[in-house]
Amino acid sequence: MSIVIENMTKSFGGTSVLRGIDLTVDSGELVALLGPSGSGKTTLLKIIAGLEWPNAGGLVVNGSDWLGLAAQDRRIGFVFQHYALFPHMSVRDNIAFGLTVRPRVERPGKAVIAARVDELLQFLQIAHLADRFPGQLSGGQRQRVALGRALAIEPTVLLLDEPFGALDAAVRRDLRAWLRRVHEETGSTTIFVTHDQEEAFELADRVVVMGDGRIEQIGDADQIHDHPATPFVARFMGATIELPVQMHSGRAEASGLDTSRLPRRALPDGPATLFLRPTEIVPVADPGGRWQVVRCASNGAVLRIELSDDAATVHVDLPRRAPEAQGLAVGTRANLRPEAGAIFSDRRAPVPVQSRQQEFPRKEKSL
Ligand SMILES: Nc1ncnc2c1ncn2[C@@H]1O[C@H](COP(=O)(O)OP(=O)(O)O)[C@@H](O)[C@H]1O
Ligand SMILES: [Mg+2]
């Protein structure tokens, strides 16, 4: 099932939460929505699920207009961060639930439901938990059951909203690998929401970076890591250092900065900002250098070096055994040599022409 989202717009009161989202998810694809809290991820999922209605925009799934469909007619599998399993029902009954509440004409027979649940229990590696109750499960086990419940109805689309968010790191890693296998074998079209970069990049075919109701960038891990499309993405991807530079024939220039390792950029001459991660800079000792080492701390593997000039402080991370790390004692003067980095012109980008927005009346929710 392909999902086509066009110019999706949503505000609550006067606050814009989605500011024109355009996104196509291919059939069988696993896409991650990655963004900080409040960027509109959950709102977008709820609109796809029919739990929330947009102010404008289009939502077409496999060629049919979903904004005209009530939530129950969309057949969505949804797993939330805190998924409420029915506490008084066994794991088996929880998973069967979505099938047992189908209208009589569509409801499979008892034996068919039991077989389907057995199959899912095996497939999801939770057969040993079948007769337990949710209160007898760990957090990770509960989320496996929640996914089983979402998959039981053979959903058109699977929506996962930070499903592992409440679990500790080791359990999350296990579940990630498990979910990736489940996805590959079911081939379901899946949207996975997370604010965790590692989770997004490890799981997804494509990652959609969201910030403040907009899509900032769509790409794979390497593209987003190496070529952030906007200052927002650069910061979100760990660029904590921002240095003013002047662009000159595609080169970034500033005193105390050796930018010879950076490729030329197609940017206009004039002021720009260089965004760097602490691991992307080498301090080069120079008695006339602009920066001075003011602190040097080792955690065994990495040397964290703090350098200051009159105006700014930068933190640089070097492998402790790197040749460049030798001789950078406190007091040493140095210049900085970025090995990589993103540059954005400070000249205002042209304001994009607003594309046409289709208005339509709000539909009543019927759940
Ligand atoms: N029902 C609602 N009423 C008012 N504001 C809401 C509602 N739902 C979400 N918001 C606001 O919309 C913004 C985006 O929320 P959300 O979609 O939950 O973001 P995310 O899932 O990325 O954290 C937040 O500022 C949130 O406070
Ligand atoms: Mg959310």
Confidence of residue 350 (pLDDT cuts 50, 70, 90): low
Residue 20 near ligand 1, beta carbon < 6 Å: no
What's the CA gap between 233 and 126, in Å, rounded?
38
What's the CA gap between 7 and 20, in Å, rounded?
4
Q: For 241-251, how does the pLDDT look when each residue is reduced to its tens digit (9 = 90+)?
A: 999 999 999 99
Nearest CA to ligand 1 atom 2: 12
Write down all domains in the chain, each with its CATH number in brackets: 3-226 (3.40.50.300), 238-345 (2.40.50.140)
Residue 14 near ligand 1, beta carbon < 6 Å: no
Residue 211 near ligand 1, beta carbon < 6 Å: no
Residue 106 predicted with pLDDT over 90: no
Please tell me which residue, 350 or 85, carries the higher pLDDT value. 85
Pocket test for ligand 1, best of 9, 17, 192, 236 (most atoms within 8 A of CB): 17
What's the CA gap between 253 and 243, in Å, rounded?
10
pLDDT at residue 56, as a whole number: 97
Q: For 271-283, how does the pLDDT look when each residue is reduced to its tens digit (9 = 90+)?
A: 999 999 999 999 9
pLDDT at residue 358, as a whole number: 39
**Phi and psi (nearest 5°) for 307?**
-120, 145
Q: Would you give the distance in Å from CA 200 to the centre of its chain?
A: 5
CA of 43 to the centre of ligand 1 (A): 6
Residue 118 buriedness (CB in 10 A; 0-12 / 13-18 / 19+): middle
| Ligand 1 atom having least distance to the Cα of 195 | 22
Residue 43 near ligand 1, beta carbon < 6 Å: yes
What's the CA gap between 25 and 1, in Å, rounded?
9
CA of 52 to the centre of ligand 2 (A): 13
CB 262 within 8 A of CB 338: yes
Please tell me which residue, 365 or 207, carries the higher pLDDT value. 207
Return the structure tokens found at 236: 């979100």
CB 242 within 8 A of CB 275: yes
| Mean pLDDT, all residues of the chain | 91
Single-letter amino acid code for the residue at 346: D
Q: Tell me the C-alpha to C-alpha distance, in Å, between residue 93 and each of 123, 125, 215, 367.
A: 16, 16, 39, 21
What's the CA gap between 67 and 366, in Å, rounded?
13
Residue 41 near ligand 1, beta carbon < 6 Å: yes
Q: Please, which residues bridge with residue 43 across strands?
A: none
pLDDT at residue 168, as a whole number: 87
What's the CA gap between 260 and 252, in Å, rounded?
9
Single-letter amino acid code for the residue at 181: R
Confidence of residue 349 (pLDDT cuts 50, 70, 90): low
